[in-house]
């Protein structure tokens, strides 16, 4: 996922672990049960996108570097 990262809204995260279930090599839960995105991620991009899309509270958001804004816009249209 060159140029991409995942932002976690800690206020919205319930710590349910859906992200860890979909992409265990890219997410973990900290001592407070909150989602943490690992850098570098170890899962394929589709699994990471599924984790972001599967978050029941919308606490996860894909964030792209400036060079990838068009790709992000395309992704957000599909969501």
Largest CA-CA distance found in the chain, in angstroms, rounded: 36
Main-chain phi, psi angles of 35, to 5 degrees: -70, 140
The alpha helices in 5-54, defined as continuous H runs, are 18-22, 45-54
Domains in the chain, please, with CATH?
4-78 (3.30.70.20)
DSSP-derived 3-state class of residue 24: coil
Strand 4-8, strand 27-29: pairing: unpaired
pTM of the model: 0.77
Q: pLDDT-based confidence at 65, cuts 50/70/90?
A: low
Count of CB atoms situated within 10 Å of the CB of 2: 8
pLDDT at residue 67 in the model: 45
């Amino acid at each position: 996922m060159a140029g991409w990262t995942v932002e976690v809204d800690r206020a919205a995260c319930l710590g349910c672990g859906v992200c860890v279930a979909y992409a265990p090599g890219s997410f973990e839960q900290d001592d407070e049960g909150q989602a943490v995105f690992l850098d570098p991620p170890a899962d394929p991009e589709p699994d990471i996108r599924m984790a972001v899309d599967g978050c029941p509270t919308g606490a996860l958001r894909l964030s792209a570097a400036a060079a990838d804004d068009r790709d992000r816009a395309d992704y957000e249209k599909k969501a």
